Structure formats: C-alpha cells, structure tokens
Structure 1
Amino acid sequence: MSAPRSDRSPWNWLLVIPIVLPLVTPLYNFDSPRLWGFPAFYWLQFSFIFVGVITTSIVYQMTKRPPVTPAAPAEQSTKPAETTDE
C-alpha cells in the first residue's frame, strides 16, 4: 500500500490570489483609464486571467514531485559470447 498523499504545501496559498482578486470590485469598478478604447473594467478583468495563469504556473512548478525513476536493471555480463568454429 502506498503512503497517503499530502498536498499541504504552503505554495498552495498563492492560489487564493486569483480567486479573491476578481471579487474585490472597488479595484476595477470605474471607467477610466481606457486602454485601446476599452474601459478599465474590461481590460482589468482580462488581466486577471493572466494573473491566474501565472500564479497557477508558479504553484505547479514549486509543488510538483520529482519523477519516479525505475530501479536500475541488474548488470549483465559484457563479455562477448564465445563462438566455436568447427
């Protein structure tokens, strides 16, 4: 039986940022400044996607487990097989 999995890394707390950030409406509840004609509401909402992707990537890289390598096979003899010429 394998050991129970533990996902209790402190890096997982960074995932709270992309969840809470869009919920704080005073950050983006205004019309100006405009970016390429879009009100701040729209381009800030779009930028939250990038924040989520970057945060998720950081947490993944910091918490991924090293790959499991299979056990090395037993060493075989490197002598060439003897041939008999009759």
Structure 2
Amino acid sequence: MKELFPLKQVMGFVFSLVLTAVALLVYFTDMPFAVGMTILLITAFIQAGLQLIVFMHAGETNDKNSIYTNVYYGLLIALITVFGTLLILVWDM
C-alpha cells in the first residue's frame, strides 16, 4: 500500500502551503519593504522550482536535461527582459 500513496506530491503540496503562509505573513506583518521583498522573491523562486519538479514531473523523464536547459534559457530571457526594461525606462540609460 505504501507504494500507492503519493508521498512526494503530498509533501510538495504541504511545502507549497507553508511557502504561501510565509508570503501571507509578509503581507500581514509590518516589516521593512526590502526585507519583505527579499522574502517574497526567495519564496516565489522556491515555490516555482517546487512546482516544476514535483507537480510537472520535470526530473522524471529521460529528457530531463533538455527540460532544465529550456527552463534556464527561459529564466535568462526573462531576466534580460526585466533588467533591460529597467535599464531603459527607469535608470534612463
């Protein structure tokens, strides 16, 4: 019976709930902006990775290297877009 229970998915769900509770604590407590944003960014990236690995089963296929390469490429493009936009529109360079 133990092999039929999805322990990995249940633990991932519980950990996602914990990360969401941490984000809600940041919202409801009075903390400095920089500290709150740091905590939110860290929990957001951890939760995104958790969703990718546990619930989207990215590491369970034979093609996992290309999946992770595509994810890293997407993150690189997103960072270039965000920082390029900040560079042009906000920092006026």
TM-score in terms of structure 2 length = 0.40
Please tell me whether Structure 1 or Structure 2 has the larger radius of gyration of its CA atoms. Answer: 1
Task: State the structure with bigger RCO (CA 8 A, min sep 6), 1 or 2.
Answer: 1
Which protein is richer in helix relative to its size? 2
